[in-house]
Amino acid sequence: MASLTKIEWTDATWNPIRGCSKISPGCKHCYAERFAERFRGVKGHPFEQGFDLRIVPEKLAEPLRWNTPKMVFVNSMSDLFHGGVPQSYISQVASVMCAARWHTYQVLTKRSARMRDLLHGPLQEAAGESHIWWGVSVEDKKYGLPRISDLQAAPASVRFLSIEPLLEDLGTIPLEGISWVIVGGESGPGARPMREEWVISIREQCQAVGVPFFFKQWGGVRKKNNGRSLQGETHSEFPTRTHNPILSAVVRMESACEFERAASINIRIRA
Ligand code: SF4
């Protein structure tokens, strides 16, 4: 069964990797870390090891077992391009996305340079697939904007920005070659504020060049109270999705078993 999610811009999450480490100010109140650390030491729980980085080969083939098309957020609890994830495993994740092509995948990273380099090399086939969307997180000018340049330099068929948590006015955003922009404020304990004019500026820039715009949330300590309306409007635009046929159950199961067998051999997380 798919891992359903409350994230507004996707249907399901898929985590063939768990855990991560902080890299920039957007990570300060990482939801995934907060969630994972609650279960550190709980025997048998998926997050028994807290937020420590590790691959999860038994989850690798999961999308092949889902027989209805979904939008799938890849590694909501990690970062596929973390330096500790072996390239061979990243390639296996990409191969599953190419095989289970009736879904739409949303791959989001803060390690944009590694993503760019791999999309030019071993992930070239996946880069060209329109059902796989490649995105970077953008929280501020210093760390976030350079990630957009990396994304634009990658040979991806569909590129997107997740501007969340938006921590300051970003000024002019380079939108050439970008197919989708998501904006959101931080939520949960200690949430940093987001100003309306910062969001309006991004919306106007998207509308000026016809880039679909999705306003996810205002956020805040109690995000439910603040909703996702911007000047009285809800913005829920997406890029156009590709519809590919679903493989037969027999072929899907055979393929899933092959991926799982391959993944269980010789996979090690680098220290
Ligand atoms: S990159 Fe993402 S998952 Fe990793 S620590 Fe930062 S916010 Fe959390």
Mean pLDDT over each residue of the chain, to the nearest integer: 94
* Ligand 1 nearest-atom number relative to CA 110: 1
In the prediction, which pLDDT does 1 show? 53
Q: Is the pLDDT of residue 184 over 90?
A: yes
Q: What is the pLDDT of residues 145-173, one digit of tens each?
A: 999 999 999 999 999 999 999 999 999 99
Cα Rg, the chain, nearest whole Å: 18
pTM of the model: 0.95
Q: Are 193 and 184 within 8 A, CB to CB?
A: no
Half-sphere exposure at residue 15, Cβ-oriented, CA atoms within 13 angstroms: 17
* Ligand 1 nearest-atom number relative to CA 33: 8
Distance between CA atoms of residues 250 and 238, nearest Å: 32
Q: Terminus-to-terminus CA distance in the chain, angstroms? A: 32
In the prediction, which pLDDT does 267 show? 53
In the prediction, which pLDDT does 270 show? 39
110 close to ligand 1 (CB < 6 Angstrom)? yes
In the prediction, which pLDDT does 263 show? 82
Q: Are strands 104-109 and 132-137 parallel, antiparallel or unpaired?
A: parallel
Q: How far is the CA of 251 from the centre of ligand 1 (A)?
A: 35
Q: For the chain, what is the HEC assignment? A: CCEECCCCCCCEEECCEEECCCCCHHHCCCHHHHHHHCCCCCCCCCCCCCCCCEECHHHCCHHHHCCCCCEEEECCCECCCCCCCCHHHHHHHHHHHHHCCCCEEEEEECCHHHHHHHHHCCCHHHHCCCCEEEEEECCCHHHHHHHHHHHHCCCCCEEEEEECCCCCCCCCCCCCCCCEEEEECCECCCCCCCCHHHHHHHHHHHHHHCCCEEEEECCECCHHHHCCEECCEECECCCCCCCCCCCCHHHHHHHHHHHHHHHCCCCCCCC
Average pLDDT over residues 96-112: 98
Q: What is the pLDDT of residues 56-85, one digit of tens each?
A: 999 999 999 999 999 999 999 999 999 999
Q: How far is the CA of 20 from the centre of ligand 1 (A)?
A: 6
In the prediction, which pLDDT does 5 show? 79
